[in-house]
Amino acid sequence: MHKLGFIFDMDGTMIDSMGYHAKSWALFCEAHGLTPPLPKVLQMTTGRTCVECMDLLFERPVDRREALDYVHHKESLYRDLFESEFREVKGFKAFIAHITERGLPWAMGTAGDKTNIAFALKNLQLAHPPQFIVGGDEGYRGKPEPDIFLAAARGLGVAPSNCVVFEDAPFGIEAARRGGMRAIGLATSHSPHELDQPHVLAVANDYDALRAMPAVLDLLNGG
pLDDT of residue 87: 98
Q: Is 105 in contact with 131 (CB distance < 8 Å)?
A: yes
Model confidence pLDDT, tens digit, residues 62-87: 998 999 999 999 999 999 999 999 99
Residues 213 and 160 reside in one and the same domain: yes
Residues 143 and 183 reside in one and the same domain: yes
222, exposed or middle or buried, with CB in 10 Å at 0-12, 13-18, 19+?
A: exposed
What average pLDDT does this structure show over 142-150? 97
| Average pLDDT in the chain | 95
Structural domain total, the chain: 2
Indicate if the pLDDT at residue 222 is higher than 80.
no
pLDDT of residue 117: 98
Residues 71 and 130 reside in one and the same domain: no
Last residue of a domain, one of 62, 84, 106: 84
Indicate if the pLDDT at residue 2 is higher than 70.
no
Model confidence pLDDT, tens digit, residues 165-202: 999 999 999 999 999 999 999 999 999 999 999 999 99
Residues 180 and 194 reside in one and the same domain: yes
The pTM (predicted TM-score) of the whole model is: 0.95
Ranges of H-type helices in 32-169? 38-45, 50-58, 64-82, 92-101, 114-124, 147-156
Rounded-to-integer distance, Cα 162 and Cα 157, Å: 10
Q: Half-sphere exposure of residue 123, counting CA atoms within 13 Å on the CB side?
A: 20
Residues 58 and 97 reside in one and the same domain: no
pLDDT of residue 3: 86
Last residue of a domain, one of 44, 67, 84: 84
DSSP bridge pairs for 164 = 6, 182
The residue ranking higher by pLDDT, 131 or 43, is 131
Residues 69 and 124 reside in one and the same domain: no
Compute how many other C-beta atoms are within 10 angstroms of the C-beta atom of residue 121: 17
Indicate if the pLDDT at residue 115 is higher than 90.
yes
Check which CATH number belongs to the domain holding 194 and give it. Answer: 3.40.50.1000
Q: Half-sphere exposure of residue 119, counting CA atoms within 13 Å on the CB side?
A: 23
Residues 154 and 114 reside in one and the same domain: yes
Model confidence pLDDT, tens digit, residues 33-47: 999 999 999 988 999
Residues 41 and 124 reside in one and the same domain: no
Residues 92 and 187 reside in one and the same domain: yes
Indicate if the pLDDT at residue 50 is higher than 90.
no
pLDDT of residue 86: 98
Residues 101 and 210 reside in one and the same domain: yes
Indicate if the pLDDT at residue 221 is higher than 90.
no
pLDDT of residue 51: 85
Residues 168 and 127 reside in one and the same domain: yes
Rounded-to-integer distance, Cα 116 and Cα 159, Å: 27
Q: Which domain holds residue 67?
A: 18-84
3-state secondary structure 168-187: CCHHHHHHHHHCCCEEEEEC
Last residue of a domain, one of 34, 63, 84: 84
Residues 105 and 169 reside in one and the same domain: yes
Distance from chain centroid for Cα 162: 19
What average pLDDT does this structure show over 132-159? 96
pLDDT of residue 1: 47
Check which CATH number belongs to the domain holding 60 and give it. Answer: 1.10.150.240
Indicate if the pLDDT at residue 223 is higher than 70.
no
